[in-house]
């Protein structure tokens, strides 16, 4: 199986070998966890941020829109770097100083894992918007080049009056086939994000994994995959590990938040160490976007994220 452009790193060893890797064996082999003041106790010295973002297996990308919301946008990148995270992600690039973001990330050694190229409205599920979608895809690919980003999120769109779900999904498929060559030439992966309609996005046309997998398989491009948001998938369908296995050939990027609350791992019902282990054993080596709201503060949230990578 060939992984999409969003996924980096060497191929994993056999599942049997990975299952034998315990935290103790890793430590004895010299693969120690990063030095953290009062490690994982939740009582770290707040005058010096512990580097919880430096993790053993999973590479996390902080969603800059949802973390440090009380700070100016560019200062949030400094905070992400202080905590040791290797990457960030954000929502639409329109209205942001792309050159300043690129310079900030270069100075801090951060990668831009992904950003949003096409949002909810106008929907690509309406053929009247396909020309605009193509134009915006080209512009977003140029932006990705400036930022060094390998992935861009695209959204199917909210329900269109008078259209059935099947018709809207067909229009999404047509739109993605139209822009796939643009993404391939730019070496950027478009990641289609299914939402949930029970909690956050009532009236959206694409939710759960089944339709998104079918659409992306029909498009048949190495550069059109799924932004597999585990939070949305939990609300829409559950069975996170099973669904991930079934659709893994179409996974371009992973995001997470716990449920209920859309906060960091360890605050809700999802056992993220098991889910992240499943993704790792399937061969996922891309970034995992932290599209979650810190429950109390960012340092505590980062500690919980760090713990989710221990299994």
- Give me the pLDDT at residue 16, please: 44
Measured over the CA atoms of residue 251, residue 257, residue 261 and residue 267, the dihedral's sign is: positive
Partner residues linked to 87 by β-bridges: 61, 111
Measured over the CA atoms of residue 263, residue 266, residue 272 and residue 273, the dihedral's sign is: positive
- Give me the pLDDT at residue 18, please: 45
Helix (H) or strand (E) holding 289, with range, is strand 287-290
Closest CA to 291 of 116, 95, 99, 75: 116
Determine contact, residues 274/58, Cβ cutoff 8 Å: no
Residues in Cβ contact with 238 at an 8 Å cutoff, skipping those fewer than 6 apart: none
Helix (H) or strand (E) holding 153, with range, is strand 151-155
Domains defined for the chain, CATH in brackets: 48-308 (3.20.20.150)
Residues in the chain: 311
- Give me the pLDDT at residue 7, please: 64
Distance CA 44, CA 300 (A): 9
- Give me the pLDDT at residue 48, please: 72
Tokens of 291: 């599209």
Would you give per-residue pLDDT tens digits along the chain (311 residues)? 445 556 655 444 444 444 444 444 444 443 444 444 444 444 445 557 799 999 999 999 999 999 999 999 999 999 999 999 999 999 999 999 999 999 999 999 999 999 999 999 999 999 999 999 999 999 999 999 999 999 999 999 999 999 999 999 999 999 999 999 999 999 999 999 999 999 999 999 999 999 999 999 999 999 999 999 999 999 999 999 999 999 999 999 999 999 999 999 999 999 999 999 999 999 999 999 999 999 999 999 999 999 999 99
**Nearest 5°: CA angle at 200, between 224 and 298?**
85
- Give me the pLDDT at residue 98, please: 98
- Give me the pLDDT at residue 32, please: 41
- Give me the pLDDT at residue 49, please: 78
Determine contact, residues 188/150, Cβ cutoff 8 Å: yes
Tokens of 108: 């801090």
Residues in Cβ contact with 311 at an 8 Å cutoff, skipping those fewer than 6 apart: 273, 274, 276, 277
Burial of 279 (0-12, 13-18, 19+ CB in 10 A): buried
SS3 257: coil
């Amino acid at each position: 199986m060939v992984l999409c452009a969003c996924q980096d790193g060497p191929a994993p060893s056999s599942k049997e070998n990975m299952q034998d890797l315990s935290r103790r064996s890793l430590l004895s082999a010299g693969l120690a966890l990063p030095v953290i003041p009062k490690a994982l106790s939740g009582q770290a010295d707040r005058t010096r941020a512990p580097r919880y973002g430096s993790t053993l297996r999973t590479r996390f990308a902080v969603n800059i829109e949802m973390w440090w919301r009380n700070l100016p946008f560019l200062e949030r990148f400094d905070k992400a770097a202080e905590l040791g995270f290797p990457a960030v992600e954000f929502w639409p690039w329109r209205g942001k100083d792309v050159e300043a973001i690129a310079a900030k990330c270069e100075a801090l050694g951060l990668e831009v894992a992904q950003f949003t190229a096409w949002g909810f409205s106008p929907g690509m599920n309406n053929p009247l918007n396909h020309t605009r979608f193509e134009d915006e895809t080209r512009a977003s690919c140029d932006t990705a080049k400036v930022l060094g980003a390998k992935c861009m999120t695209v959204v199917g769109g909210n329900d269109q009056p008078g259209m059935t779900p099947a018709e809207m999904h067909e229009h999404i498929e047509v739109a993605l086939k139209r822009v796939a060559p643009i993404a391939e030439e730019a070496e950027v992966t478009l990641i289609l994000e299914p939402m949930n309609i029970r909690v956050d996005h009532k009236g959206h046309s694409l939710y759960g994994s089944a339709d998104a997998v079918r659409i992306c398989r029909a498009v048949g491009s190495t550069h059109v995959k799924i932004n597999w948001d585990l939070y949305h998938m939990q609300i829409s369908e559950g069975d996170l590990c099973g669904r991930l296995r079934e659709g893994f050939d179409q996974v371009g990027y992973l995001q997470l938040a716990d449920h209920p609350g859309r906060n960091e791992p360890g605050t809700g019902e999802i056992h993220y160490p098991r889910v992240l282990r499943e993704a790792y054993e399937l061969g996922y080596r891309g970034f995992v976007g932290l599209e979650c709201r810190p429950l109390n503060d960012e340092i505590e949230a980062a500690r919980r994220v760090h713990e989710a990578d221990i299994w």
